Homo-oligomer: A and B are copies of this chain.
Amino acid sequence: MTTTANPSRNGVDVATLFATLDAVKEQNEIATFQFRAENTWVSGTHSRSRYSGFYGAMQEMEHKHETVVDSDHPAVLVGQDNGPTPVEYLLHAIAACLTAGIANVAAARGVDLTNVSSSVEGDIDLLGIFGLHDGTVRNGYKGIKVTFRIEGDADDATLREIVEQSRSRSAVYDALTNPTPVSIEVVTG
């Protein structure tokens, strides 16, 4: 472990990472982003979202490639199982957000990682969404558990601090653990 910045440590361009932070410090408006998805119902519980554009760094931007993702319910929940359930995408989101942060924080601290993987479990009582309860069962997850396995050229305490720093700066961790306002507009035709 060294503290010398390496332009490609963990696949992270550390010099550009710090330059980006400096640019945002100079001009806070660069940090205003809007992410977007376009969803279309296919049939039954099956729908499909596309991601292409977003706003950030004071301009409209496009992802390098459009991404298409499907959701459905499995047969046991009366769907056709054409993709993971919507709630399963939350599990990917939290793992991916924490993992990206881990790679960035480790790179900034001069730690070379060799492996980061995680298992995510979300426990949910569907009595909530079925409405079959006396008001005591929530619709969403009772809890989500993320188990990380992390290896790199740093001691146990340092690796744990990297995960903790990632958690403390994670957008998805905040979005899930604290209330996020969601507004719904309806246009009928």
Contacts and interface: CB of A to CB of B under 8 A. Distances in A.
A4 interface: no
Contacts of A34: 121-124
Contacts of A123: 32-34
B188 A151 contact: yes
Q: Is the interface of A mostly helix, strand, loop or mixed?
A: mixed
B39 A141 contact: no
Interface in A62-93: 63-65, 67, 69-81, 83-93
Bin the interface of chain A by size: 35 or more
Contacts of A163: 184, 186
A100 B187 contact: no
In the A-B complex, the 7 residue pairs with the closest CB atoms: A11-B43, A11-B44, A140-B175, A140-B174, A39-B95, A71-B96, A86-B97
